[in-house]
Amino acid sequence: MDHPGGARAVARCDALGVSPYSDAPDMLFRAWMTPAFGATQGRVAEWMAEAGMTVRIDGATNLIGRYDATTPDAPALLIGSHIDSVRDAGRYDGPLGVMLGIECVAALHRSGRRMPFAIEVIAFGDEEGSRFPSAMLTSRALVGDVTAEALAVRDANGVSAAEALAAFSAGDVYTARRDPGSVFAYLEAHIEQGPALDIEGLAVGIVTGIASQLRYRVVIEGMAGHAGTTSMALRRDALAAAAEIVLAVEQAGQNGPADLVATVGRMIVAPNATNVIPGRVGFSIDIRALDGAVRDEAARAIRDAIGRIGAARGMGVTIERTNDLPASLCDPVLVEAMAEAARAEGQPDRRLASGAGHDAMILARLCPTAMLFIACAGGISHNRAEQVAVGDVEIALRVMLRFIEALGFIETPEHRGIGAASDA
C-alpha cells in the first residue's frame, strides 16, 4: 500500500496558499464566495475530475466529486472538509482533508476498483464564518438547517448571504439538502489544531467527539468625545468597558474544567482615532466545552458580567447569539473501525476529543461520522506558521484507505446503510 498521494495532497494545499487562491496579496485569506474562493473551486474541480470523479456544485456552493459504486443508486460515503479560511491562515486547515479525500478516490481509480458504495468528496465553502457572522452554513444546508433568517446575515460590506449566493449563481440553496438514505457515513481528516499528537510523536489520532460551542456578537455603546478635553470622571469610554469585559470572559474560562475555553477573538473600535474617546466597540465571544452544561454556565456568567459592567459604566449593551452548536460524538462503530485501520498501519490507537468545531458536527445530524486527526507542528493552526509532515500525511492516507475498505464489512442495525452497501 505505497501511495505517493500524501505528498501530492500537501503540495496541492501549498499551491492553493497563494494568488489567485487568496483574497489578500500578502497572506492566505479565502472567504466564502469571493474571487479567490471561485478560483479555488475551479482548481479543485480539475483535480477531482483527474481522480476519476464526476463533478458538480450544489445550491449551497459545495463542490462535490462523485465516484460511483459497483451498483447504481448505492448510498454514499462522504469524505470532506472546507476550503474557506480565516485571515492570515495556514494552508492545511480544511483543504488537507479535501485533498486526502481526492487521493483516496485516485488510489481506487488507479487500481480500477469500485466500492459497493459510492464515494463523494465534498469541499464545503463556509466552515470558518470568515465573511458572515455565522459559520458552517454550507454543511448546514446538507441537513436542511438553513433558514431565511440565516441567509439574512450581512458581511462587512452590507451584503447579505442571500444576495451573495444570488451573485455567485449558486442556485437554490435549499436543494442542497440530502436525503438521509443517500448517505451512510461521513469521514473528515483534519489537522489536530492542538499539540497532543506532535508532543507524543504520533502521526494520527482518532477523534471521539467535538466540543459544544457558543458564539456571541456584543456591541458596547458609550459616548465618543475629545480625548484632550473630556475629564476622566465624565467619560463613557466603550473600549475601557470592553476591556473589563474581556477580562471577565477570561476569568469565566479559567473558572471551569480544563476543556472549558472562552475567547474574545475579534474587536472593532469606533471611531478608532488617536484623539477620540472610543464611543462604540463590537466584539466576538467564543465559548467551548465538551459538556454543554459547563459551556452554558460559563455563558451565563459572562452575560451577567457584561450586564453588570455595562450598567456600572453607563453603557448601552447588545448581546446577540450567532452560533450554538451542541457537542457531537463520533460514531462508536466507526471510531473502532478507524482505530483498527490505524493499528493495521502500525500506528498506536490514540483517541482524543476535538476542541475545534468541524463540519462533521453538522453532518452528524445526517449520518454516522468519523474523524481522523493529523499532527501539526507545535499544534499551531489558524496561523501562517501552520505545518504538517509529509510522512504523517502519507500515513493518514493509508489509514483512510484501510478504513474505506473496512466499511463494506460493517453490518449492524444502526448502520443499515453500510450493511446495505456491503450486500450490494
Work out whether strand 204-210 and strand 351-354 pair parallel, antiparallel, or are unpaired.
parallel
The binding site for allantoate consists of 215, 275, 288
Band the pLDDT of 418: cuts 50, 70, 90. Answer: low
Q: Is the predicted pLDDT of residue 207 greater than 90, yes or no?
A: yes
The binding site for Zn(2+) consists of 82, 93, 128, 190, 382
Band the pLDDT of 177: cuts 50, 70, 90. Answer: very high
Which pLDDT tens digit goes with each residue over 80-100? 999 999 999 999 999 999 999
Band the pLDDT of 109: cuts 50, 70, 90. Answer: very high
Grid cell 479535501 in the structure block, residue: 98
- The pLDDT value recorded for residue 416 is 47
Question: What integer best gives the mean pLDDT of the chain?
Answer: 93
Band the pLDDT of 295: cuts 50, 70, 90. Answer: very high
Work out whether strand 76-82 and strand 328-329 pair parallel, antiparallel, or are unpaired.
unpaired
- The pLDDT value recorded for residue 357 is 86
- The pLDDT value recorded for residue 415 is 52
Percent of the chain with pLDDT over 70: 96
Mean pLDDT of 15-44: 97
Distance CA 220, CA 352 (A): 38
Name the grid cell of 308.
453588570
Question: Do 402 and 211 contact (CB within 8 A), yes or no?
Answer: no
Q: Is the predicted pLDDT of residue 2 greater than 60, yes or no?
A: no
Q: Is the predicted pLDDT of residue 206 greater than 80, yes or no?
A: yes
Which pLDDT tens digit goes with each residue over 125-158? 999 999 998 889 999 999 999 999 999 999 999 9
- Is the domain spanning 212-325 CATH 3.30.70.360? The answer is yes
- The pLDDT value recorded for residue 202 is 98
Grid cell 457537542 in the structure block, residue: 327
Where in the chain are the domains?
5-211+327-423, 212-325
- The pLDDT value recorded for residue 417 is 46
Band the pLDDT of 3: cuts 50, 70, 90. Answer: low
Q: Is 302 exposed, middle or buried (0-12, 13-18, 19+ CB in 10 A)?
A: buried
Q: Is the predicted pLDDT of residue 419 greater than 50, yes or no?
A: no
- AA letter at 179: D
Q: Which residues of 46-67 are buried (b: 16+ CB within 10 A; e: fewer)?
A: ebbeebbbebebbbbbbbbbbb
**For residue 281, what are the β-bridge partners?**
220, 269
Q: Is the predicted pLDDT of residue 101 greater than 50, yes or no?
A: yes
- The pLDDT value recorded for residue 200 is 97
- The pLDDT value recorded for residue 298 is 98
Q: Is 73 exposed, middle or buried (0-12, 13-18, 19+ CB in 10 A)?
A: exposed
Q: Could you tell me which CATH class the domain 5-211+327-423 is placed in?
A: alpha beta
**For residue 160, what are the β-bridge partners?**
154
Q: Is the predicted pLDDT of residue 218 greater than 90, yes or no?
A: yes
Q: Is the predicted pLDDT of residue 377 greater than 50, yes or no?
A: yes
Mean pLDDT of 107-136: 94
Q: Is the predicted pLDDT of residue 235 greater than 50, yes or no?
A: yes
Which pLDDT tens digit goes with each residue over 314-356? 999 999 998 898 899 999 999 999 999 999 999 999 999 898 8
Pick from 102, 189, 155, 224: which is nearest to 376 by CA? Answer: 189
Distance CA 338, CA 351 (A): 10
Q: Give the list of residues 6+ apart from residue 116 with CB closer than 8 angstroms, or none.
A: 69, 70, 71, 74, 408, 421, 422, 423, 424
The binding site consists of 82, 93, 128, 190, 215, 275, 288, 382
Mean pLDDT of 269-289: 97
